[in-house]
Amino acid sequence: MSTVVDAYWAAPAIARTVATLVFVCSLGVYTELFSIGPFWFHWRFLFKFPPAVYRLVTSFLITGPQIGVLLDTYFVYSYLSQLEKGNSKFSRKEDLIWYLMVVGSVIIFLDQAFVGFGRYLPALLIAICYTATQDQRGQMAHFYVVTIPAQLMPYALLLLNLLNGWIMVQICLCGLVAAHFHDFCTRLYPEFGGGPNLLPTPWFLSWIMSTPRVSNTSYGSSYVPPRDDQPRGGPLPDSWRSAGPGRRLG
């Protein structure tokens, strides 16, 4: 049992967290432990009081039914792990978080404008599959019982969703467009157009990830305070922080 727990905590943090949320929420919905209502999104929910902002996240957490709970969770973990561990575009965790925020926002916009489905994990899965396999051109990948070029995996997943109806194909196309949009803004335009990265990771995500400092260990995460020889971030000006230790009055 301890080996399983150690392996779980040793997995990439973002992929592990997202896959766990997907599995737990999906299992809860399909066993009727949770209502599926909070996992649907429509723009009108943002204008109720209080605004249902949480639906911007929960609408990405429900897999397909039955075997889809396991397969979709596995694919989400697999492709997010590839992005988190071996993709040069996401050298920092905040880069991957920003990617998920951008791609998720584009998916929601396209769905609300053209489709109206309301649940987005199939689209997100297509998006992260496309992004992960762009650096694997020339390699082969296993798709169930067949072997295909790695870069064709997102299109194979898209064809597979034909079995679930045209609306599922439409929502998956939203994910494919979102992934293409991110790739154009962050890689194609800077490399071939000579322009800047149009979607740089915002500074506040880096600030959040570095304050407080978090150290991943085999048993989880622990807070690591800055050493005395390291600059300490915070709202106080440097002149105040360099004045020495405080003294209690009285």
Question: Mean pLDDT for each consecutive 10-residue tract of the chain (250 residues)?
Answer: 85 96 97 95 94 97 94 94 89 95 98 95 96 85 83 90 90 96 95 92 90 54 49 44 44
Q: Using CA atoms, how far apart are residues 4 and 13, in angstroms rounded to an integer? A: 15
State the angle between helix axes of 166-183 and 93-110 in degrees (0 to 180), rounded to the nearest 10.
Answer: 130
Instruction: Answer positive or negative: Cα dihedral of 57, 51, 176, 201.
Output: negative
| Segments making up each domain of the chain, as ranges | 2-208
Residue 1: the pLDDT is: 65
Residue 142: the pLDDT is: 80
Residue 197: the pLDDT is: 94
Instruction: For residue 72, give the nearest of 63, 81, 80 by alpha carbon.
Output: 63
Residue 160: the pLDDT is: 87
Residue 240: the pLDDT is: 42
Residue 86: the pLDDT is: 79
Please state which of the four CATH numbers 3.30.70, 3.40.50, 1.20.1540, 1.10.287 is assigned to the domain occupying 2-208.
1.20.1540
Residue 212: the pLDDT is: 60
Q: Using CA atoms, how far apart are residues 3 and 17, in angstroms rounded to an integer? A: 18
pTM over 0.85: no
Residue 107: the pLDDT is: 98
Surface-to-core class of residue 27, CB atoms within 10 Å of its CB (0-12 exposed, 13-18 middle, 19+ buried): middle
Residue 134: the pLDDT is: 87
Residue 242: the pLDDT is: 43
Residue 227: the pLDDT is: 45
Count of CB atoms situated within 10 Å of the CB of 90: 21
Residue 224: the pLDDT is: 53
